[in-house]
Structure 1
Amino acid sequence: MRFLLNISTHPGDVAIAGEHWGDAVSLLEQTGFDGYEIYPVGDYDYDIIPERIIGGIHLRFFVMIRQIWNNDRQALVDMFGSEENVRCYYGGSDRDAIIDCYRRQLDLACRFDVPYVVFHPVHYELDYVFNWQPPWNWRETIDLSAEIISEVVRQTSYKGWILFENLWWPGNFRLDSVREIERLLSGVSYPRCGLVLDTGHVFNKNQSLKTEAEAISFLLDEVDRLGEYRDLVRAVHLCRSLSGDYVRASRTIDNPFAGASTFWDRFGVAARHVRQIDRHEAFEHPSIAALFDRIEPETVVFEFSFASREEWLGKIERQKRALGEHFGRRRPEGRR
């Protein structure tokens, strides 16, 4: 297995990585990791990033994607408040903005010669982030996602793996059933498809989980239910998220967007809410090592939130201790 850390080109992450990414290289050497899975943000000069340290790319997560993919201009204006906001969020006002964004990022994947990219088969809207009751089902979302990816890869030189990551909201790709996997893969016109298992997102589905040991037991049961489809898990986003108490409390709020008068105000409320759900903490209980007795991913990403190098290092070391000897495993070079 390769072990990666997550990082983005957001100014906060870049400040921790250091100018010219020298500190990022030093962090890999200090912690024993093989590289980074990067989330490209904004108009960034990727020439300053050493190519050898990038091991995967997480494609842009638009969250709200159905209306723009369908070129439904009125629905977009109703959602965002203005066409200017639509263009600001997507980089354009129609589906070509989505296609162009993903193709540029696949070009970046070619440039860094990464073996995989990550895509969320998800559509969600602000009106449902608190109540979890969207008026669509997982089949609609999966079909939409398959259509998007199939169009994006129709003209690209990228030949690596496209890995689909589970999320927690109902009406989306949650890995509740192997039928989700079958429907997604049957709809995507691309030969090299697999899965990213996000452990925190699995936990977020179940608000009754109280302890880390209980959550890991739930995770292992969920993985076992995948049966032979476990072999499709080529990467793991390894992190802990125990937020059931918060989710239950948030569902009792009568008007969660009170005082949020603009789209960006509402978006800010939703973003803070999501960060409270998906906490990206480190595992500490050693039973998490049993996950890698069930699956053999090529890549494990320690996917954490962090506001400082010290916080990041603390999470890295705690999770390494939890994995024990499993952290030292390395896959043979040359297999992609």
Structure 2
Amino acid sequence: MYLMNISNYSGDLEKFQKDWKNVECFLEKHQLDGVELICYNEEYLETLPRHILKGLHLKYFPTWLEFYKNNHEKVCEMFGGIEGVRQYYGGIHPETLKEAFRNEYQRAQEFGVEYMVYHVSHVTTEHSFTRAFDYTDDDVLDATVELVNQAFDRNSDVMLLFENLWWPGLTLLDKEKAQRFLARINYKNKGIMLDLSHLMITNPKLKTAGEAAEYIIETIEKLGSLKEWIKGIHVNLSLPGDYLTADHQSEYAEILKTEDQFERYIKTVGHIKKIDWHVPFDHPLVKNIIDLIEPEYVVFELQTQNLQQLDDYINIQNKAIGRL
């Protein structure tokens, strides 16, 4: 099943004149079976045709470990006080996270989606610039297991797919860690959503799409039988090695000088976008990756400024895979 990512954010839907019928026509034009949705608010959901909605990308809090562990002082320091904490998480107590994911899970059931996507990662704003992490993969994986087992009904029919990132958490670079993580998740209908860009970012030495494809294939083969747990793929390309290995201390210093929390957020997002590009994987070896994994879902997860660029990107991706 071939899908594309979309959100119900008005800026995203403006590409389609805020009309889901135009989205349907676009999907048909590009031989796509539906969408993987991110919900930012409650807008435009009533008119969303359920038959095109196949997956729900759950909320993602990039920074959550300190909050979950109730390190109140640290969290207030990071978010400029209690109101900043409330604005970011929707509450001031760790239980807020569980409620957020319970609500997302309920929404997935109401929508009748086939799968949900859960980011398994943690990073603070500071460490996104410095990479001087004071938490490990195991710290993030252990806390995620605890949170997921409390927030989701283990017997649901909706598949719960855990997505890899390049920050501490589920990187998929360590087979044993990934196996232990999945084994401890009580949710029965579970699996992995492999994000190709996120895997590329773990290797800053990659310079070309061909090198990236070979690295991904090599990494997947090292997973052995764990490969069978990969049920979906986010297809995109990121080769930010030069940027990733540069010194960003001065950029972080500028953020520290920025008092407005929203402006801080915008600057940080700009930094992340220079790492995670979300452009088409335009090398024919991408088809070899798909053939190797044989996923149920292939999602074109791309970021574009307008409909013409999205149209071009989807065409590039379909051509690389051999669908045109």
TM-score (norm: length of structure 1): 0.91
- Asked if 1:10 is matched to 2:9, the reply is yes
In 2, Cα distance between the equivalents of 1:20 and 1:215?
Answer: 37
Structure 2 residue 287 is the aligned partner of structure 1 residue 289? yes
Q: Which residue is 1:234 aligned to? A: 231
Question: Quick check: 1:150 aligned with 2:149?
Answer: yes
User: Are the equivalent residues in 2 in contact too, given 1:209–1:244 (CA < 8 A)?
Assistant: yes
Amino acid at match of 2:252: P
Kindly provide the amino acid, as one letter, of the partner of residue 112 in structure 1: F
User: Is the contact made by 1:106 and 1:158 (CA closer than 8 Å) also made in structure 2?
Assistant: no
From 174, 195, 212, the counterpart of 2:171: 174
* Cα 1:70–1:256 shift into 2, 3 Å: closer
1:210 to 2:207 alignment: yes
Distance (Å, rounded) in 1 between the aligned partners of 2:117 and 2:228: 17
Which amino acid is the alignment partner of residue 209 of structure 1? L
Say whether 1:190 aligns with 2:187. yes
In structure 2, what is the Cα distance between the partners aligned to 1:304 and 1:43? Answer: 23
1:71-130 CA distance string (max 9 Å, x none) = 332222111112111111111111232222212211221122111100011111011001
Is 1:89 aligned to residue 88 of structure 2?
A: yes
Query: What SS does the aligned partner of 1:184 have?
Result: helix
Q: Which residue of 1 aligns with 2:266?
A: 268
2: distance between equivalents of 1:125 and 1:317?
A: 36
Contact 2:156 2:189 in 1 (8 A): no
The alpha carbon displacement at 1:45 in A equals 4.5
In the other structure, the counterpart of 1:257 is 253
Q: 1:243 to 1:315 in 2, by over 3 A?
A: same
Report the number of matched residues: 322
Find the residue that maps to 1:267 and give its secondary structure.
Answer: helix
Counterpart amino acid of residue 194 in structure 1: G
Distance 1:13 1:252, change over 3 A: closer
What residue in structure 2 maps to residue 298 of structure 1?
A: 296
The structural deviation recorded for 1:142 is 0.2
* Unaligned stretches of 5+ residues in structure 2: none
Deviation at 1:25, TM superposition (A): 0.9
Alpha-carbon contact 1:241-1:277 (below 8 Å) kept: yes
Cα distance between partner residues in 2 of 1:234 and 1:216:
19
- SS of residue paired to 1:129: helix
* Aligned-partner Cα distance in 2 for 1:165–1:263: 28
> What's the % identity of the aligned pairs?
28
- For the Cα contact (< 8 Å) 1:64–1:124, is it kept in 2? yes
The within-5 A match list for 1:104-183 is 104-154=103-153, 158-169=156-167, 171-183=168-180
String of CA shifts for 1:299-329, please: whole Å, max 9, x gaps. Answer: 00000001100000101000111000xx49x
Q: Is the 8 A contact 1:81 1:262 kept in 2?
A: no
Considering only aligned residues, what root-mean-square deviation do their CA atoms show, in Å? 1.7
The 1:18–1:53 alpha-carbon spacing in structure 2 relative to 1, beyond 3 Å, is: farther
Q: SS of the counterpart of 1:119? A: strand
Aligned partners of 2:240 and 2:275 also within 8 Å: yes
TM-score by length of 2: 0.95
Q: Deviations over 1:135-189 (max 9, x none)?
A: 11101100011111111014x88431110000012x2211011122122112212
Is the 1:233–1:295 contact (alpha carbons within 8 Å) kept by the matching residues of 2? yes
Contact 1:110/1:157 (<8 A) preserved: no
Does the Cα contact within 8 Å between 1:16 and 1:23 map onto a contact in 2?
A: no
| Compared CA separation, residues 308 and 252, structure 1 to 2 (3 A) | closer
Q: 1:157 to 1:309 in 2, by over 3 A?
A: farther
